[in-house]
Amino acid sequence: MAVNLTPPGPEDLLPVKGVRLGVAQAGIRKSGRKDLLVVALAEGAKVAGVFTRNRFCAAPVQVAKEHLASGRPTRALVVNTGNANAGTGEAGVAHARTSCEEAARLLGCDPRQVLPFSTGVIMEPLPVERIVAALPACVAGLREDSWGHAAEAIMTTDTVPKARSRRAGGATVTGIAKGAGMIRPDMATMLGFVATDAALTQDALERLVADAADHSFNRISVDGDTSTNDSFILIATAAAGRCDRARLRDAVLGVSQGLAQAIVRDGEGATKFITVRVDKGRNEAECRSVAYAIAHSPLVKTAFFASDPNLGRLLAAIGNSRVRGLDVNRVELYLDNVEVARSGGRAPEYREEDGKRVMAKSEIAVRVVLNRGKAATTVWTCDLSHEYVTINAEYRT
């Protein structure tokens, strides 16, 4: 049911020299599917990440941050789906450490050179013994061309695997992500792993991961919830040497944005992909505030689901954004190119059939012009459907 989202073909995904991937069936929650991924990095690879701001930060996130902070070069990522190992207290931390220790033993490195990631149900004990049992199969199957399998192995309620590649001169950028619910600006419930064979300093890598997150995963909203496990990791193996910084940034942002938009397109129950652009604000913060007021409103989202140009809900959402001193009489509102509202009310030329025509589409652009400055921002969201309720009511059954 994803909105205009097809799985990438094998030929779409370019291997990144220095990055090998292996998957296995650990049987963590459901049998008959691959649910464990090891990403092994060649010597010389650098890693940087950004993580959830949820205070109930999951055990693997705590351990991954600690291992990154140890200053030891990361040699592997271990990612399981089916169980988030979140809200699991000290036992959860011990389980995350056990995964790292076992992977380190198999790969011949220090456990602090392994980063753990988990996604799935919260507050259930992680069956770490199943991970330990399946890790040898992951390691035995490590290959540079397994990005597609890796994208499948990290899915939860995702209906389509998410992976993207781009070339940046002599360098390659390839990434995978998962996530479909519990999605909001400050990190979605998502895991994202993007790798390049370009050479970057640690500082440049850390700036780039923050920059990429800010223009991709931090610009999406499915349901306004921030998960306990969100992690976005950028890897640079240096195997392709230095490359043009601007082209590399474009490629990394392009891959990250493609993955972030894929998460929205595959948003739980999504039937529409909605781009919300806010123009001419005083600063980006107020533009974001307006954009998220729209992207988070259940009433706006159900109207999109119904293809109903109930535009008053859009105005009400803008009015709720709490932008100081906002003069609603100066606000213009557009659906695609149709002017819908200005001067505090419906635009005189607006006709219901124009609104209906736009609302019937599966890709809709909402544009709000605040007319009080020069800043702008864009966020991406989806509609709220029956299927969202079904998926989330029945998630554990």
Residues lying near a second copy in the complex (CB under 8 A)? 53-57, 84, 86-92, 121-124, 181-182, 223-228, 296-299, 302-303, 305-306, 308, 310-313, 315-323, 326, 328, 341, 343-346, 384-386, 388-390, 392-397
Rounded to a whole number of angstroms, the minimum distance from the CB of residue 284 to a second copy is 19
What's the farthest any 2 CA atoms get from each other in the chain?
Answer: 71
State how far the Cα of 43 lies from the Cα of 239, in Å rounded to an integer.
10
Nearer to a second copy, 258 or 267 (CB): 267
CA–CA separation, 121 vs 2, rounded Å? 22
- Smallest separation (angstroms) from a second copy to the CB of 359: 12
Catalytic residue among 74, 119, 189, 226: 189
| 253: amino acid identity, one letter | L
Instruction: Give the tokens for residue 14.
Output: 């370019």
**Separation CA 295–CA 368 (nearest Å):** 12
**How far is residue 108's CA from residue 125's CA, in Å, rounded to a whole number?**
28
Q: What is the rounded (10 degree) CA torsion for 386, 392, 395, 396?
A: -130
Give the integer Cα–Cα distance in Å for 193 and 178: 9
Closest CB 126 distance from a second copy, rounded Å: 11
* Residue position matching structure tokens 């240096």: 238
| SS3 state of residue 374 | coil
- Helix, strand, or coil here: 372? coil
At 193, list the tokens. Answer: 């792993």
Q: Could you confirm whether 226 is annotated as catalytic?
A: no
In the complex, the smallest distance separating the C-beta of residue 394 from a second copy, rounded to whole angstroms, is 6
In sequence order, which residues have a C-beta less than 8 Å from that of residue 28 and are 6 or more positions away? 35, 36, 80, 81, 82, 83, 120, 126, 127, 130, 131
Whole-angstrom Cα distance, residue 173 to residue 185? 24
CB of 53 or CB of 245, closer to a second copy:
53
Closest distance of CB 65 from a second copy, Å: 15
Q: Which residues are catalytic?
A: 189
